[in-house]
Structure 1
Amino acid sequence: MFKWNSFPIILLLLIIHFPIFSQNATLQKILKSKTLTVSVNQFYDPFYISDPKEGFPGLDVEIAKDYADYLGVSLRVLPLKSFDEHATRLERGDTQIAIAGISTNLERSKRVNFTDPYLFTSPSGLVNRQVLPPEPEGQIITSVPFRNLLDLSSLSGISFSVLSNSSNHIWLKNNFKKNPIYSYSDDTTALNELKKNNVNVFVADGFRIQAALQKEPNLKSTYLPLLGNVQEEHISMAVQKGDIEFLQSLNFFIKEIRRNGRVNTLTNKYFSSRDWIKN
């Protein structure tokens, strides 16, 4: 018969003999080197800003700095261009975390482990106002007919530009199968195709659209923002496969910065103000 008074001894033996109770390898590496190495998205301001104003290094950089401060180590930031680069650096052990505005999906999860999301977004767009039907004259407008990308499904001949192999690209192919979809290696090129009138709609996540409007407020005169939710996208951190304890540590950190309002503060700092933009 099991004796409950022997339980503390059994628990102590488990702690001694099983590594699950010990400090994980990734945290040991970070604490030993006294450096947290994080990869960020080189082309995704204001998550990372290559030539920042003082006090505005980017939303992802500030979150990474918060985690480094929590661990009591210094922060090294490595700007990269693509998810494949982020995953490869994690696999090699060159970095410990990718904090790069990364949307999660099943295919990507084959190479990395994703944390709980720290932000949520949706496929969004900028549509050339010239392709939208005119508002009826002499009538009181009680609703806005075009709020999200799916509202464009009633229009014919609409063409799109989007970042290649992104979650937004996949969403477009699933929802606008009969429409021309042109994909590009970076969002800047895709947006320029809209500006050059080569396509009718530029598609990206909602944060990317908001950032474009902050940098170029005059875009609103020519293009209508479509920011309504059509599919919940999770923006998460990525870590190397296998280190579950490190993943749990990050998930707790994310839970706390969401609970204490830090994420909201940073979101407002970068997306409710143009203060981060250099004149």
Structure 2
Amino acid sequence: MLRKILGFTAAAGLAAVMATAAQADAIDDIKARGTLIVGVKADYKPYGYLDPSGAIIGIEPELAQDVATKLGVKLEMVPVVSSNRMQFLEQGKIDLMIATMTDRPDRRKVVLIPDPNYYSSGTNVMAQKAAGLKKWEDLKGKPVCGIQGAFYNKKTQEEFGAEIVAFKGTAEVYTALKQGRCVGFVYDDSALIAQLQDTAQWGDYEMALPTIDDAPWGLAVQLGQDKFAQFMSDMIVGWHKSGRILELETKYGVTNTPFAKAMHDKYK
């Protein structure tokens, strides 16, 4: 019996050591590699998108560069979409995910989301002015474009009766809108506001519905990487304290959001 107890104790101790090592290795491995690999959006202006040269730019890529700079390593960005971003992190294809992900309890079971949240947005619809939408119920029976994996698709369909036409990325959605395949696009209000500023492209469109379901965004690391998560938590606090998020919103044409202003006031 004593040998069994000692055996269990040794096994538990080894597991604890291995868990601690795994937590330490996330940052250590990044530094040893000399490169931080971050999953970001490449089709979600202004948060992550391609410039004319094909480089990924935007608010979140700049935040990713902040992290790489702090770690003293180079930055490699991997384009992700809503349907694969958590899988890329789970599979170790990326070290960190900063990709417009709404922070939800079910997602915290899959990936490790540090507190505090770094951003927030609500849900709205960018639609043709001619559609005359005034309330969410006006979507009943109408085809509405959405992004695969976005949580608000289900609500828009089940509560308001819209017929969701899901696409993998925003480029496909905007093409579908131009072709008249959808009456509107259900998406994050902050991104839609930025898109509507391009009046040459979207002068006939509007965001007339009231924003609903304001929800915070969470960046993420792999489960068990507590040391890396704490590092990112400190980074987020620093962004809010310095006004970095507000600065990037202004740089990329987004009116400073209530969330970003409130978090700056809280930490400054």
TM-score of the two chains, using structure 2 as the length reference: 0.76
Q: CA deviation at 1:23?
A: 7.3
1:119-138 equivalences under 5 Å are: 119-132=119-132
- Cα distance in 2 for partners of 1:155, 1:57 equals 33
**Unaligned regions of 5+ residues in structure 1, if any?**
1-16, 134-145, 274-279
CA distance in 2, matches of 1:22, 1:160: 44
1:183 aligns with 2:166: yes
Out of 222-231 and 247-256, give the one that drifted further: 222-231
CA RMSD of aligned residues (A): 3.1
Compared CA separation, residues 108 and 226, structure 1 to 2 (3 A): farther
* Count of residue correspondences: 238
8 Å CA contact retained: 2:144, 2:186: yes
Alignment of 1:134-173 (within 5 A): 146=134, 151-153=135-137, 157-173=141-157
Q: Deviations over 1:102-144 (max 9, x none)?
A: 22334433321223321110111112222328xxxxxxxxxxx
**Which residue does 1:256 correspond to in 2?**
238
Q: Distance in 2 between matches of 1:215 and 1:226?
A: 17
Could you say which structure has the greater relative contact order, defined with CA pairs below 8 angstroms and 6 or more residues apart? 1
Q: Which residue of 2 aligns with 1:245?
A: 227
Amino acid at match of 1:185: K
Greater Rg, structure 1 or structure 2?
Answer: 1
**1:239 to partner: Cα distance:** 1.0
Q: Which amino acid aligns with 1:263?
A: I
Structure 2 Cα separation of the partners of residues 157 and 170 of structure 1: 14
SS of the counterpart of 1:254?
A: helix
Q: Secondary structure at the match of 1:161?
A: strand
Secondary structure of 1:126's aligned partner: strand
CA contact (8 A) 1:168 1:205 kept: no
Partners of 2:139 and 2:86 lie apart in 1 by: 39
Q: Which runs of structure 2 are paired with 1:1-279 in the superposition (5 Å)?
A: 24-51=24-51, 57-84=57-84, 86-116=85-115, 117-132=117-132, 146=134, 151-153=135-137, 157-176=141-160, 178-220=161-203, 222-226=204-208, 228-272=210-254
8 Å contact kept, 1:206–1:227: no
1:218 Cα deviation after fit: 4.7
- 1:33 & 1:212 partners in 2: Cα distance? 37
SS of equivalent residue, structure 2 residue 152: helix
Percent of pairs with identical residues: 24
C-alpha distance in 1 between matches for 2:139 and 2:71: 53
